[in-house]
Amino acid sequence: MRADVEAASADIEQSVGLLRRRLDWDPALRRLDELNARSEDPTLWDKPAEAQALMRERTRLANQVEAVQALERERSDTLEFAELAEMEGDQDSLEEAARTLKALKERAGRAELEALLSGEADGNDAYVEINSGAGGTESADWALMLMRMYSRWANAHSMTVEVLEETPGETAGIKSATLQVKGVNAYGWLKTEGGVHRLVRISPFDSNARRHTSFASVWVYPVVDDTIVIEINPSDVRTDTYRASGAGGQHINKTDSAVRLTHLPTGIAVACQTERSQHQNRENAWKMLRARLYEAELQRREAAQQALEDQKTDIGWGHQIRSYVLQPYQLVKDLRTDVETSDTQGVLDGDLDPFMAASLSQRVGVTGETAEG
């Protein structure tokens, strides 16, 4: 047991050292002191945009510094507790210390990944757009399963989910849906999920119980605030209104309150139907369109991901990022990182962290660990 304690402690110490180097510790502390001092300046909010940017930087840096300090403090306290337990021959307390350090090690690992979320919009909330693809009713049902999967993931990480648009399938499932996921680093984590997801299973809609392959696409883009200026020429945007409907085709109201905006130069389209008022839906749709165009600009600058239309031209073979096989065997495999697991139900219930971590690490040139089946 003592060996377990020492091994976990060494791993945590290594993670802390890595986090300090990534933060550039001493300059980071000096910068935090500077930001704290500027935040107390009574004239700060004379320029709201600059003030908001400063406060976001301060919050992000303070959270990162506190995370490192908390790991160091809790590791030291637990080691002292373990040493005392060993001196007194208290095996139960020694086992408790080992469990505490194991949990701390997991936190340290996640903190390492969080430190990689340094992109311009990584800390923002996220829009998640899901569209069913090749496969008819099968794919519509698969799209609904993905919607549930991401909602479960978000809830497990203390994030909230709001459904902004949902178009039901003709028989079952959904043709499309747009979620807004609100939480710290929502976009930073979820951006790794963009692409086509493939499902292989025995169809619940096939009376002959044959195996079917279904596809659905996921697109993720950041929620942008008013400090990010995205110029849109109103004449470049087509507005369509229609009656909002929910799952099962039930009308939310009897008026054309739902709004769809299409940016004609790029073909980017967004829709919102959650509010009863067309005015409110229109306002939300414009926010979504600004976010989509901002994400497109990030894509061009980073040149690290395919452009939106490239991923959405064909939701089917050749565009997949992940395969979910439920029959004739159980396996979820990410085709970008080779991370795989046989716990298919766990993944569909929202256990996506190993896949996100590996993809995020790959993006910054760090080798990620694979999940074990």
Residue 16 identity = V
The pair of structure tokens assigned to 43 is 């004239």
Partners of 269 in the beta sheet?
262
Q: φ and ψ at 286, to 5 degrees?
A: -65, -40
Question: Any idea what the Cα angle at residue 225 is, between residues 266 and 260, rounded to 5°?
Answer: 40
Please state, in angstroms and rounded to a whole number, the distance separating the CA atoms of residues 232 and 225.
15
Q: What integer pLDDT is reported at residue 248 of this predicted model?
A: 41
**What is the reported pLDDT for 246?**
56
Give me the mean pLDDT over the 99-111 stretch.
Answer: 88
pLDDT digits (tens, 9 = 90+) for 344-373: 999 999 999 999 988 888 876 543 333 433
Which pLDDT belongs to residue 3?
79
DSSP code of 204? T
Distance CA(358)–CA(12), nearest Å, equals 20
The dihedrals phi and psi of 88, each to the nearest 5 degrees, come to -90, 0
| Tokens encoding 287 | 């926010």
List pLDDT tens digits, range 307-324. Answer: 444 544 455 555 689 999
Reading the block at residue 316, the tokens are 């089917």
User: Which tens digit of pLDDT belongs to each residue from 218-230?
Assistant: 999 888 765 566 7
User: How much of the chain, in percent, has pLDDT values that exceed 90?
Assistant: 46
pLDDT for the residue 334: 96
Domain chopping of the chain, boundaries: 2-115, 126-363
Reply yes or no on domain 2-115 having CATH 1.20.58.410.
yes
Residue whose C-alpha is closest to residue 241's, from 263, 265, 272, 264: 272
Average pLDDT over the chain reads: 84
Residue 180 structure tokens: 């807004």
Write the CATH number of the domain with boundaries 126-363.
3.30.70.1660
pLDDT at 364: 63
324-335: average pLDDT: 94
Is residue 21 very low, low, confident or very high in pLDDT (cuts 50, 70, 90)? confident
Residue 156: what residue type?
Answer: A
Strand, helix or coil for residue 267? coil
